[in-house]
Structure 1
Amino acid sequence: MDADMPEVDLELVWAKLCPGLDIIFRRENMSAKYYMGLYSTVYNYCTNLTAAHVPATAESQLQNNFIGSDLYSHVENYVSAYTTALCKRCDDLDGEALLDFYTKEWDSYRFSAKVLDGVFSYLNRHWIRREIDEGRKERYMVYMLSMVLWKRDMFDTLEHKIIPAMLELIRLERTGHTINKRFISAVVENLVELGMDDTVSAKEEEAKRLDIYKNSFEKKFIEATRDFYTNEVSVFHMENGSCTDYLIKVETRIQQEDNRVTLCLHSSTGPPLSGCCNDVMITKQLEFIQAHFGRLLMDKMDDHLARMYRMCLRVENGLPALRKALKEHVQKEGLEALERVAAEAFNDPKLYMSTLLEVHERYQGLVDRSFSKEPGFMKSLDSAAIEFVNKNAVTLRAPPQLQPLKSSELLSRYCDQLFRKSAKMPDENEMDDIQKKVVSWVGIWACLGWGALLRMLEVTIFKYLEDKDVFLKFYTKMFCKRLIGELSASDEAESTFIQKLTDTCGYEFTTRLTKMFQDIQVSRDLTSAFKEKSADDKKCAEFQAMVLSSGSWPNFPTSGLKLPQQLVVTIENFAAHYQTKYTGRRLNWLYSQCRGEVTTTAFKGKKYVFGVTTPQMCTLLLFNEQTTFTAENIMEATGMDGKSTKAVVGSLVKNQVLKSDKALEGDEVPLNATITLNDGYTNKKVRVDLSKMTMKAEPVKETDNVQKGLDEDRKNMIAASIVRIMKARKSLTHTNLVTEVISQLSGRFKPKIEMIKRTVGSLIEKDYLKRSEQQRDLYEYVA
């Protein structure tokens, strides 16, 4: 050997390395200089070769015979001797003592293996890397070699004691004992790291990395978990535990297992562990759990209902039975609540609506809070509400043909109460507060605010009406009365409500309401302009006109009423003013809808201001000429028909402004009665409204009128829908046409199949449609 060449004899090299390896595996302090000396020894051994060590053939041969195999074997033997000796020290250890020793030694060994890997890094980069790349079996990087030897000499030998010790610790923790969780997590980390393999691709390594962990520990852990909870559930039932206790226990156990995965186990164990717990504690106990859902609903145990929901959500087919039970319960409770107030609520919209809202709010809150607004439960609530809103003990008190209209009527009357000036309307700040705060429907209703009504329309009662067109009929009539009678408490409220209706049902649904509201705004501008123009004309009475567009408003009865001269001049002047702005339009005066004020001092000199209808005004002004008339004289002088005369004069007699020598027949005065001014009339109030009696409508009669016009309106809507559909589709089978018509109109009402059939027949007769000659159930559009 050349004296200048470093030592390349393996035994001499190993003799230098061995003391350093001993220091590494004893975890003693090592200086950087000493560490670099070890690295240099390995480096020099691998790079300084003499001709004696390699064949003198080609240079490529040198590379292929790179010295490393012997050194690799020495490293392997050294580490194996260390792990074998370590394993023997475990012969007398079991349970926690074994886990304590195993985990501590593993931490130390892992550190030593990393240092060892650094010392032999040159060997890793060259000879070992080439061996692996050429497919040599059982060749590993030095760190990986250390893992392989630990598994072979330590874990494989001790597995039969380590895994049971881990499972026993987990069992003890499940039974309430305190354990050292670090023993579990450290062994888990050990098993995962032992699964590493740097001889395969990264993709293969990722797939195989958990094999040792799963095969050695996870499978046994899942089996032990199944056995433990199967036994626990069995004992629970043997002790006759309650459902609520079971829900709490299962929720607690599931949370404990989730925490165990987070703190001790590999994250991949989460799904199989969750599946095991779900199967044992929920799926196999589903019948027991679901059987108590109804009782929890009745007892209003919302926290337990939330637990049951979360539990059943975890398993397949856990929720359908609960959804069905919720629908049945809510429907039953809604019907029972309305049955308790049926007699009073039949003519009390406020009581009816508060009862509906109270039931809905209770279960809307339950679905929101306990069931996390799950769509299936939302649908169950909606289905139940549709049932008890449209058909209940209140609606069944109506005549059979009017029962489908009752809910819509009461809702529209409730709206009317809220929007009238007589209602207790909140101020703007209260309205904002109502909309911002989450309060109970009972609280909102108590405020009687339009904000409550808007929210109610948006999310509750209105959307459950099957026949929204019925509501619109009633609402339009009442809206009309509020506008004409100037009874609306807030224009903003009226406008916003119409917009909400539009958002819910579409523009077409509210076209008439929008036009009616616009007419009133335009009329105010017209009246203001007229007043400015005629301010100096003393012949014009104090006057305000409402110009109502024909076709947008309900039909009003016409009258041949003869106006007093004081009003004729004013009306003629306004008509002339209107023609200057809208040439070609004609005004038809609706005296039946007019109102006014009459100021009088005819009663002992005291001043009164009477609010009257126009027919009442015409009647009272007659008494400026004389104090006694017969009812027939009044009829001739005013131009009213007999029925109107009896009602108008009767209302003034009932208000004691006039006197009759004959008794009233109901609210009407006989035409042969003599009518005189009641000189003894007195009232504490200066302003007295005499119009209420004549303007009071009978709810039953209004409902009958709605019913009469409803069928005709629906026929027209069905016909229009069919024509629209057929114009777009050109041809459709009968079944498909019926389906599309129902779908298109369901937002307004629920069309009956028979009515659709009759309308189709009518359209065929009118040549809008025809039957296909090739297929009798196929309709074709006739352009």
Structure 2
Amino acid sequence: LLLRMAQQKRRNATIDEIWQDLETGLGHIYRKEPMIPQRYMQLYTYVYDFCTAVSVHAGGAIPQQQQRNLIRVNHQNNKKGANLQNETDFVGSELYTKLSSFIRNHVESILKECRTRSGEDQLRYFTTQWDQFRFCSKVVDGIFAYLNRHWIKRELENGNNTIYVIYTLALVTWKQTLRDHMATNITAGVLDLIEQERGGITITSSLIKGVVDCFVELGIDEVVDSTSPETAKTVNPKLRVYKKMFEEKFIAATERFYMNEATTFLQGNSVTEYMKRVERRLNEEKDRCETYLNRSSLQPLARKCEEVLISKQLELFQNEFCSLLEEHRDEDLGRMYMLCERVEGGLDELRKTLEAHIQKQGLNALEKVKEQATNDPKTFVLTLLEVHTRYSKLVNGAFQNESGFVQALDKAATIFINKNCITHAEGSNAVSSSKCPDMLARYCDGILRKSAKNSEDTEMEELLNQVMVIFKYIEDKDVFQRFYTKKFAHRLVGSLSASDEAEQSMIGKLKQMCGFEYTSKMQRMFTDTGLSRETTDRFREKCANTNKVLGCDFNVMVLGANSWPSLGSSVPINLPYKLSTCVSEFSAFYSEIHQGRKLTWIFSHSKGEVVTHGFSKRYAFVAMTPQMAILLLFNESTEMDGATMLEGLQIKKEHLIPQLASLVKAEILKVKEGDVSNLDENTKLALNLDYSNKKMKVDLTKFVARSEVKQEQQEVHQHVEENRKMVIQAAIVRIMKTRKQMAHSLLMTEVINQLNSRFKPKIQMVKKCIDILIEKEYLARVEGQKDTYEYLA
């Protein structure tokens, strides 16, 4: 009974009476005065009664003596449901309006007090009051929960966008009042603190964070701006207040600060010191953003700092870049890269400068060793490697292997490796396309050839990797292929390879870079040597089984003619009896096991060992087969003329003379009659019985007059030119077979692009090959279209 009386008493109270007590309670809450739970529940109940009293009085009359009763029933309305709705709407609206007015007055009083303060004191008061207001508003939101769940919810569902849930109402009121009266002052105070920190003064960063958090949370009611779809995509609507009230002004202040600092600092410091300052400043701004700003500010802040500190100073960086390269200041170069990489187009000029610098350094390095490197492959290749290694480390380290700098290195290396003082034809400005490939092939021969200084396996692998670094940049890889194959053949035939593993490794590296076709002949050559050992073993086994005595240790290498073009043609010669017997026996044996195959003996590449008995010491001479045949003639007579030798050996004069010259040069033979420098069939030679040598085993093969290097280059060049014509024609046919019809310019471009990895086709040669294919009726010109070709099936 007492409970019903208390409820009846509350429900009979007027809005003014109830609001008076509610207002008192709200004041206690916003001032953070102590409040017992019963008081909190009393305030909650007031709100509840406001919203539910309608259902109690809707069916009966309200006493006439109560003025401005809580419920004003419209007695004229005939429908009780409509009466109930109208009365509920009135109560909710009245209560919401009074609360909104209270919050506005409270916020205005706070900000009024805030305006009386300044500087850090103002920010401290503002952030303290904000935190308190925010907390208290959540408490008030709980007290008005019933209003949120019913009247406010219904208003929102009906599309009334001027109504907010109570907590949002509190924040919106704070925002509106702040924007009208204090936003400029608060933002200015924050910016002043940030500038102090940039100047090295220790500040209370929590004050800035408090203001920033306030601005961010004040975007609670913001929605997507349908009138600006681009902005809606890039800006979170909840951050609109933060960006408008703070970020825009912050970015502008940042720009002013750093423009002034950059100008002042550069007047008294070097560019390298400036870069260190910029690097530190950028890190500071990043830390600043992560410490007390919203993370959404990181990108616009970074962009503005980069624009002011880097983009506007790019010309200074570019001017300093070359000096840093000259002085090998890799750390500063790395710092410059890191800074310029952050801005659009910041690296373009640096890449161009690096390319020009590397090219210049490579050419200068070769110029310094020109005299020695012209005929010394090792000096030539190691000089190239030294320059490339230096700048490869720079690109990989300071420039972080960035593709543009890698490309700059590649372009520069291609030029200084292929077009330098060594590769220029003697006495002209023309570039010899065979010089660089020849030098590299000779260098490879030096490290792969058996010697006392051969490297360990790991060192050999590293040397081969270095070779491939230079090989990558050689434009005429087909020329290298020809030179390398010749050297490779000599190593295999003479058993001069340091190791089979090293040879296979090199072939594998070439195959990986240029494909199977590039190394197919080399691989078959290598296979031939292995099969030859097996064939020789079978021949020896047969001789042993048939009791045939050859009179000498005999080894044979059977080489496929198509895989070994570099050995040259056969040189006919009448061999001594013991050698001719071995040749005849093996030829018969080979014909038995391989019917239909023809053996051609290449005596100019065959060698053996002969032992002397006519000198003061016993020597063992390692000699080529023609040298052996000549020396064995002197068993019959110690003196002999050229004509007698020609008749006895049945050899051509042009093949005999170089062999005689090698033996004269080795001082085994001496000229008795005739000119030493001009040997011919009339020259009389005698065995030098006074011959003496410290070594007991003497290699005479090294005295054989090889073709001049220039002549060898001409032969290779001629072979390569012929081979290129066939390769170009094959490429044209492949392309036209696919396209059927093609314009001249497009065909030229595609042919060049296809063949660039092997060599750089000359425009004139491609045109000539097109004409050849037209003559052969592979192609035809399209009638009425002068520059168009069609493929003829």
Is contact 1:651-1:667 (8 Å) kept?
A: no
Is contact 1:338-1:355 (8 Å) kept?
A: yes
Whole-Å separation in 2 of the counterparts to 1:31 and 1:484: 108
1:499-510 → structure 2 map (5 Å cutoff):
499-510=508-519
Secondary structure of 1:610's aligned partner: strand
Secondary structure of 1:195's aligned partner: helix
Does residue 636 (structure 1) correspond to residue 647 (structure 2)? The answer is: yes
Partner of 1:436: none
**Residues 727-736 or 522-531, more deviating:** 522-531
Whole-Å separation in 1 of the counterparts to 2:427 and 2:527: 37
CA deviation string 1:161-186 (max 9, x = no partner): 21111111111112221212211121
Among residues 723, 726, 731, which one is paired with 2:733 in the alignment?
A: 723
Partner of 2:785: 775
Among residues 548, 571, 574, which one is paired with 2:586 in the alignment?
A: 574
CA deviation string 1:138-180 (max 9, x = no partner): 3211111221222234564222321111111111112221212
**CA 1:598 to 1:19, structure 2 compared with 1: closer, same or farther past 3 Å?**
farther
Is contact 1:412-1:471 (8 Å) kept?
A: yes
Give the counterpart letter for 1:173 in structure 2: E
**Residues 521-530 or 770-779, more deviating:** 521-530
**Displacement after TM superposition at 1:569 (Å):** 3.4
Does residue 477 (structure 1) correspond to residue 483 (structure 2)? The answer is: no
Partner of 1:705: 715
1:63-462 → structure 2 map (5 Å cutoff):
65-66=87-88, 67-154=91-178, 156-197=180-221, 207-237=236-266, 239-396=267-424, 398=426, 400=428, 403-422=432-451, 424-428=453-457, 430-431=458-459, 449-457=460-468, 460-462=469-471
**CA 1:572 to 1:84, structure 2 compared with 1: closer, same or farther past 3 Å?**
same
5+ residue gaps, structure 2? 59-70
Whole-Å separation in 1 of the counterparts to 2:256 and 2:400: 33
CA deviation string 1:193-245 (max 9, x = no partner): 011118889998984322221111112112212222222233234x2532222
**Displacement after TM superposition at 1:720 (Å):** 2.0
Secondary structure of 1:102's aligned partner: helix
**CA 1:693 to 1:144, structure 2 compared with 1: closer, same or farther past 3 Å?**
same
Is contact 2:662-2:705 (8 Å) kept?
A: no
**CA 1:88 to 1:723, structure 2 compared with 1: closer, same or farther past 3 Å?**
closer
Give the counterpart letter for 1:542 in structure 2: D
Secondary structure of 1:586's aligned partner: coil
Partner of 2:66: none
Partner of 1:646: 657
Give the counterpart letter for 2:217 in structure 1: E
Partner of 1:440: none
Partner of 1:611: 622
**CA 1:223 to 1:609, structure 2 compared with 1: closer, same or farther past 3 Å?**
same
**Residues 267-276 or 338-347, more deviating:** 267-276
Does residue 736 (structure 1) correspond to residue 750 (structure 2)? The answer is: no
Whole-Å separation in 1 of the counterparts to 2:443 and 2:310: 47
1:523-562 → structure 2 map (5 Å cutoff):
523-536=532-545, 537-540=547-550, 541-553=552-564, 554-562=566-574
Give the counterpart letter for 1:51 in structure 2: H
The number of residues matched between the two structures is 760
Secondary structure of 2:481's aligned partner: helix
Whole-Å separation in 2 of the counterparts to 1:744 and 1:626: 63
**Displacement after TM superposition at 1:274 (Å):** 2.4
**CA 1:347 to 1:65, structure 2 compared with 1: closer, same or farther past 3 Å?**
farther
Give the counterpart letter for 2:350 in structure 1: L
CA deviation string 1:647-676 (max 9, x = no partner): 323333433444543476249576531423
Whole-Å separation in 1 of the counterparts to 2:44 and 2:493: 103
**CA 1:37 to 1:611, structure 2 compared with 1: closer, same or farther past 3 Å?**
farther
**Residues 325-334 or 77-86, more deviating:** 77-86
Whole-Å separation in 1 of the counterparts to 2:689 and 2:48: 133
Is contact 1:654-1:667 (8 Å) kept?
A: no
Q: CA RMSD in A?
A: 2.9
Secondary structure of 1:50's aligned partner: helix
**CA 1:453 to 1:119, structure 2 compared with 1: closer, same or farther past 3 Å?**
same
Among residues 686, 689, 703, which one is paired with 1:675 in the alignment?
A: 686
Among residues 746, 750, 766, which one is paired with 2:756 in the alignment?
A: 746
Give the counterpart letter for 2:655 in structure 1: S
Among residues 61, 69, 84, which one is paired with 1:62 in the alignment?
A: 84
Is contact 1:418-1:450 (8 Å) kept?
A: no
Secondary structure of 1:68's aligned partner: helix
**CA 1:412 to 1:65, structure 2 compared with 1: closer, same or farther past 3 Å?**
farther
Secondary structure of 2:434's aligned partner: helix
TM-score, normalised relative to structure 2: 0.89
Partner of 2:52: 47
Partner of 1:588: 600
Secondary structure of 1:403's aligned partner: coil
Secondary structure of 2:518's aligned partner: helix
Does residue 685 (structure 1) correspond to residue 695 (structure 2)? The answer is: yes
**CA 1:731 to 1:270, structure 2 compared with 1: closer, same or farther past 3 Å?**
same
5+ residue gaps, structure 1? 432-448
**Residues 640-649 or 5-14, more deviating:** 5-14
Is contact 2:669-2:685 (8 Å) kept?
A: no
Whole-Å separation in 2 of the counterparts to 1:133 and 1:261: 39
Whole-Å separation in 2 of the counterparts to 1:520 and 1:40: 106
**Displacement after TM superposition at 1:584 (Å):** 1.5
Give the counterpart letter for 2:135 in structure 1: F
**Displacement after TM superposition at 1:591 (Å):** 0.9
Whole-Å separation in 2 of the counterparts to 1:710 and 1:324: 34
Secondary structure of 1:675's aligned partner: strand
Partner of 1:511: 520
Is contact 1:417-1:423 (8 Å) kept?
A: no
Which one has the largest radius of gyration? 2
Whole-Å separation in 2 of the counterparts to 1:195 and 1:277: 27
Whole-Å separation in 2 of the counterparts to 1:497 and 1:74: 92
Is contact 1:596-1:617 (8 Å) kept?
A: yes
Give the counterpart letter for 2:273 in structure 1: D
**CA 1:42 to 1:577, structure 2 compared with 1: closer, same or farther past 3 Å?**
farther
**Displacement after TM superposition at 1:105 (Å):** 2.1
CA deviation string 1:257-283 (max 9, x = no partner): 222222222222223222322332222
**Residues 146-155 or 467-476, more deviating:** 146-155
TM-score, normalised relative to structure 1: 0.90
Secondary structure of 1:521's aligned partner: helix
Give the counterpart letter for 2:553 in structure 1: E
Give the counterpart letter for 1:395 in structure 2: T
**Displacement after TM superposition at 1:780 (Å):** 1.8
**Displacement after TM superposition at 1:465 (Å):** 1.7
Whole-Å separation in 2 of the counterparts to 1:555 and 1:691: 16
Whole-Å separation in 2 of the counterparts to 1:308 and 1:96: 39
Whole-Å separation in 2 of the counterparts to 1:78 and 1:635: 130
Whole-Å separation in 2 of the counterparts to 1:199 and 1:261: 25
